[in-house]
Amino acid sequence: MTLDASRGADAPPELVQLLTPEGERIEHPDYDIDLTPEEIRSLYRDLVLVRRIDLEAVALQRQGELGIWASLLGQEAAQIGSGRALTDSDMAFPTYREHGVAWCRDVDPVKLLGLFRGVNHGGWDPKEHNFHLYTIVIGSQTLHAVGYAMGIQRDDASAATIVYFGDGATSQGDVNESFIWASVFNAPIVFFCQNNQWAISEPLEKQTRIPLYRRASGFGFPGIRVDGNDVLACLAVTRKALEAARTGQGPTLIEAFTYRMGAHTTTDDPTRYRVASELEAWKLKDPIERVKSYLFRTEQGDQAFFDAVSAEADQLGADLRRRCLAMPDPEPLAIFDHVYSEPHALIDQERAQFAAYLEGFEK
Amino acid sequence: MTVLSLSKALNEGMRKAMEDDPKVLIMGEDVGKLGGVFRVTDGLQKDFGEDRVIDTPLAESGIIGTAIGLALRGYRPVCEIQFDGFVFPAADQIITQLAKMPMRSLGAIKLPVVVRIPCGGGIGAVEHHSESPEAYFTHTAGLRVVACSNPADAYTMIQQAIRTDDPVVFFEPKRRYWEKADLDTSSTDWWAPLHAARVVRPGTDVTLLAYGPMVKTCLEAATAAEDDGRSLEVVDLRSLNPLDEAVVMESARRTGRVVVVHEAPVNNGFGAELAARITEQCFYHLESPVLRVGGFSTPYPPSKLEEHYLPDLDRVLDAVDRTFGF
């Protein structure tokens, strides 16, 4: 039996949408948003720039400059919409694909490449950006995010935590434990699940028999499904959930219904497990085209604006490439750095021995 | 001076740490009202409140995962894993996250998290309640691993572990929880560094290396050996990672004979690391191979058999005898 989990067991799920794939602005009784033309243009710029960063990174991998890359293609709206809903004091916990959220948290894109180029395991200070390191073990970060949110409660601070994960991660024990923890401690957290329909080769029905957002009700907090390709809806829904978290109303699960347009990572070959027509159908729901269409149609953006963003994107891509190639390889003894925060006899001993060994070659 | 049991010494140590630093939190299953199944956290929730002594849902990965998040926010969580055999659901968070995140951050993140694990057998418990999983953690870079053997060390080491900016896996010898000693809690003059080994009984003929519950067993063996005219030195390692090599090697060179004793299975146990290091560094001083006494390569047996599984005075002395057979 093949079950279309995206449609759920009974009633068709509600999908919060404020901008149709054709670029028509529609109203929603619970989730409206009032943005200036400038703000919408800014969101458009974000979408275009992160797609360009992603495209450049894929190219860098193809040319051997990165070991691997996890593309966000198709998920730009989910990431920019939710990322722009965050305030400075909110904390975000990403997977390894949240390049768009990183952009919203002012992480220099070249710093994202360190992990994928193999020069470090994470090259930014999470405290500086309130954006945690990428987490590769699926779902682990959801517990860190809940713990962080429990810290916010103990600090009596006005802030919230958002944690990103995918449809595959919802099967992990850690994710389910994090739902329980968040619920019983009423933690100020937003669970932002980008349901991109595929966990590498496994379709959604391998993870669930009900729409993912409905999982929340069993844990005792609200769940909502949003059009993950609609940046306005993602922004509106996330803003409301974050505000609820900040004001003591506890967690929310947001399921951003979207599609992974590219491969899982650059090592993957999606032609082995999914049909081309599916991709074609989702191309019509492109997160960027609908904003462009809306801006154009409502005369909030003219050709000069779109050309300028496009030129900026090209420049950003070229700059990213240049700085990626200039990224130095780490020194051999960096292996021993930061394993411990305080001095550690064994590490010191091995570092000294390896340094002496290396010196032997230099003589 | 105050007479304290090992469990009460831990309790007093945590109390002191919580008084000294408002960021110190206790978390785990049943640690609040009940005071823990071994009462190690008895009374702490009453005095410090539910926000600082947190009864968690019953999920070990969740305990460690959320402790990491709290540490990222500036807290210093002390997590209780109820029994050794229940640490494995948390192993993923400990090994892939807690141990590695500081390095992953290039030093931007510190994770001062203590994972307390009551360990070892000898209390007639059911399956999964008597294990010695230390080697899994000594094999994981990024963790510090220590084991207390007596009330004085319990009192000092738990406070030092809490003050350490790195994650510390803290093994408590559950069958020694009720051992008592006189402690001077008014002064820190007598405290040893957290990672220092200690010669707890000087001797000249054979070195016994032990930690946690086996230190007492080795001391008893040394007393018995004295009657046979053998002088055994007992070293309490106290810290497994990092290892205080200076104390271990000095003793090994001096006696020339070493027996390692632990409850965990000998095969691939921590004793193998000790034997290898001693052989590498003290080869020409040794009169015999380093011998190991420990559990068998079997799962921990039903409790009616545990006295056969656990190293005791006779098995230690048997190994001592064998060091003279080479």
pLDDT at B219 over 80: yes
Q: Phi and psi for A206 in degrees, rounded to 5?
A: -80, -10
Q: A352 — contact with chain B (CB < 8 Å)?
A: no
With contact defined as beta carbons under 8 Å apart, do B72 and A145 qualify?
Answer: no
Q: Is B31 in a helix, a strand, or coil?
A: coil
With contact defined as beta carbons under 8 Å apart, do B239 and B145 qualify?
Answer: yes
Chain A residues within an 8 Å CB radius of B101: 133
Amino acid making up residue B116: R
Chain A residues within an 8 Å CB radius of B68: 143-144, 147
Q: A155 — contact with chain B (CB < 8 Å)?
A: yes
Q: Which residue of B has its CA nearest to A114?
A: B104
**Predicted confidence (pLDDT) per residue in A131-147, tens digit:** 999 999 999 999 999 99
Query: How far apart are the CA of A240 and the nearest CA of chain B, in angstroms?
Result: 23
Cα–Cα distance for residue pair B112/A283, rounded to 1 Å = 47
Which tokens hold the place of B170? 């803290």
Query: How far apart are the CA of B218 and the nearest CA of chain A, in angstroms?
Result: 26
**Predicted confidence (pLDDT) per residue in B247-271, tens digit:** 999 999 999 999 999 999 999 999 9
Residue B286: pLDDT band (50, 70, 90) is very high
Which tokens hold the place of A72? 């966000």
Percent of chain B residues past pLDDT 90, beyond the cut: 99
pLDDT at B112 over 70: yes
Chain A residues within an 8 Å CB radius of B102: 338-341
Cα–Cα distance for residue pair A37/B80, rounded to 1 Å = 54
Indicate yes or no: CB of A147 within 8 angstroms of CB of B93. no
Q: Phi and psi for A45 in degrees, rounded to 5?
A: -60, -45
Q: Which residue of A has its CA nearest to B194?
A: A344
Chain B residues within an 8 Å CB radius of A137: 92, 96-97
- Owner of token pair 């492109």: A286
Query: Which residue from A55, A64, A37, A34 is spatially nearest to A325, judged by alpha carbons?
Result: A64
Catalytic residue, candidates A273, A297, A344, A357: A273
Give the mean pLDDT of chain A: 95
Indicate yes or no: CB of B89 within 8 angstroms of CB of A173. yes
> Angle B251-B253-B259 (CA atoms, 0-180°, nearest 5)?
60
Query: How far apart are the CA of B309 and the nearest CA of chain A, in angstroms?
Result: 32
Q: Which residues, at least 6 apart from A68, have a Cβ–Cβ distance to it below 8 Å? A: A61, A116, A265, A266, A267
Q: Is residue A129 among the annotated active site residues?
A: no
Ramachandran category for residue A74: left, alpha or beta (phi over 0 → left; psi -120 to 50 → alpha): left
Using the CB atoms, write b or e for A221-245: b if 16+ within 10 Å.
bebbbbbbbbbbbbbbbbbbbbebb
Give the mean pLDDT of chain B: 98
**Which residue ranges of chain A lie beneath pLDDT 50?**
1-12
Q: Which residue of B has its CA nearest to A180?
A: B57
pLDDT at B240 over 50: yes
Nearest residue, CB atoms, A143 vs list B69, B100, B105: B69
Nearest residue, CB atoms, A151 vs list B74, B103, B164: B74
With contact defined as beta carbons under 8 Å apart, do A177 and B57 qualify?
Answer: yes
pLDDT value, residue A306: 98
Chain A residues within an 8 Å CB radius of B244: 345
Using the CB atoms, write b or e for A183-210: b if 16+ within 10 Å.
bebbbbbbbbbbbbbbbeeebbeebbee
Catalytic residue, candidates A51, A215, A264, A321: A264
Q: A130 — contact with chain B (CB < 8 Å)?
A: no
**Predicted confidence (pLDDT) per residue in B165-194, tens digit:** 999 999 999 999 999 999 999 999 999 999
Query: How far apart are the CA of B175 and the nearest CA of chain A, in angstroms?
Result: 30
Structural element, H or E, at residue B201: strand B198-201
Indicate yes or no: CB of B72 within 8 angstroms of CB of A120. no
Which tokens hold the place of B111? 């994770």
Q: A341 — contact with chain B (CB < 8 Å)?
A: yes
Q: Which of A172, A175, A341, A348 has the most B C-beta neighbours within 10 Å, making it the best mutation to test the interface with B?
A: A341
pLDDT value, residue A3: 41
pLDDT value, residue A362: 77
- Owner of token pair 């070195």: B207
Other C-beta atoms lying within 10 Å of the C-beta of residue A1: 3
Nearest residue, CB atoms, B69 vs list A147, A339, A342: A147
How far apart, in Å, are the Cα atoms of A181 and each of A151, A248, B26, B104? 13, 15, 16, 26
Query: Which residue from A252, A261, A314, A250 is spatially nearest to A285, judged by alpha carbons?
Result: A261
Query: How far apart are the CA of A144 and the nearest CA of chain B, in angstroms?
Result: 4
- The pTM assigned to this predicted structure is 0.96
> Angle A64-A105-A240 (CA atoms, 0-180°, nearest 5)?
130
What is the ipTM score, two decimals? 0.97
Alpha helices, DSSP H, located in chain B: 6-20, 44-48, 60-72, 88-92, 101-104, 134-138, 151-163, 214-227, 245-255, 270-282, 306-309, 313-323
pLDDT at B77 over 90: yes
Cα–Cα distance for residue pair B114/A80, rounded to 1 Å = 37
Active site residues of B: 129
pLDDT value, residue A32: 84
Indicate yes or no: CB of A337 within 8 angstroms of CB of B103. yes
Q: Is residue A264 among the annotated active site residues?
A: yes
